[in-house]
Structure 1
Amino acid sequence: MFAVMGSFGAFAENEQASLPFSKAVRVGDTLYLSGELGAKPGTMSLVPGGIGPETKQTMDNIKATLEANGSDMNHVVKCLVMMADIKEWAAMNEVYRTYFSGRFPARSAMGASGLALGARVEIECIATVKK
């Protein structure tokens, strides 16, 4: 049995609400998050400034989705990072690491061309739900 978690909250009437996927799906005590971009909440516009600000907004968006669905960054067990230019790895990693304390989740990464909205980074995560 699984539950679809919209988690658009106050943004139910926004540009993101019409996208053909769920931000999170819960199966048992596991949350599967869709890939997240550095878009300003409720919009289809990336934050300006390149990889650093986009990674920060991406991680803030992930954090908000987790919290809206009974989890948090400490319960993330796996992430997949997709980057438009793998040469920006160090700059992305500098921001990414600040969202975890103590232990880091397992992670895979790849270079990808043509990320949605012309994004520099997209990150998807799997997390457990807080007990």
Structure 2
Amino acid sequence: MTIKRFGIHGGVGTGGQHLPFARAVEAGGWLYVSGQTPMRDGEVVEGGVIEQSRIAIENCLEIMQEAGYGLQDVVHVKVILTDARYFQSFNKVFKEVFGEHPPARICAVADLVVDCKVEVDVTCYKGA
């Protein structure tokens, strides 16, 4: 089985630090996208949970597209919110993106290393 890593050279976090992990890894038809926060050009985009959720999901979708995967390939999503009160707002954005064919999902509340409201990662699958 071949393992392909995406974005291992140049991933940038807050303050311009180089991130020591791949943006995504593909193996055996599976694509694992690293957790994405609402960042643009290495800086967190300020805003409410709806705006931050859209950006975090868009960041996942951009990485998926780079790897040749689309929404139809998403099988599981992990979500971390920093406040349980964000749950309904996040669900609104999630439904806008995934529509009537949502993937499996887990949503938890925890502190994040980055000062934002949400982090999202996705797992995709494309058969041979």
TM-score normalised by structure 2 residue count? 0.87
CA contact (8 A) 2:79 2:121 kept: yes
Give the match for residue 4 of structure 1.
5
Secondary structure in 1 matching 2:101:
coil
Identical pairs, percent: 25
Equivalent AA in structure 2 for residue 26 of structure 1: E
- Which has the larger strand fraction? 2
Offset of 1:20 from its aligned partner? 0.7
5+ residue gaps, structure 1, are none
Secondary structure in 1 matching 2:102:
coil
1:19-76 alpha-carbon deviations (Å, 9 max, x no partner): 0111100011100111110111x32x22121211100101110110000001011210
Give the match for residue 119 of structure 2.
122
User: Which moved further from structure 2: 116-125 or 57-66?
Assistant: 116-125
Secondary structure in 2 matching 1:15:
coil
Offset of 1:81 from its aligned partner? 0.6
Give the match for residue 15 of structure 1.
12
Give the match for residue 28 of structure 1.
28
**Alignment length (residue pairs):** 124
Equivalent AA in structure 2 for residue 3 of structure 1: K
Instruction: Give structure 1 regions of 4+ aligned residues with deviation exceeding 6 angstroms.
Output: none
Offset of 1:96 from its aligned partner? 1.6
Task: Tell me the C-alpha RMSD between the 2 structures.
Answer: 1.9
Give the match for residue 95 of structure 1.
93
CA contact (8 A) 2:5 2:22 kept: yes
Equivalent AA in structure 2 for residue 27 of structure 1: A
Separation in structure 2 between the aligned mates of residue 129 and residue 64 of structure 1, nearest angstrom: 17
How do 1:13-92 residues align onto structure 2 when only pairs under 5 Å count? 15-16=12-13, 18-40=18-40, 42-43=41-42, 45-92=43-90
Compared with structure 1, are the counterparts of its residues 55 and 130 closer, same or farther at alpha carbon in structure 2 (3 Å cutoff)? farther
Separation in structure 2 between the aligned mates of residue 30 and residue 6 of structure 1, nearest angstrom: 16
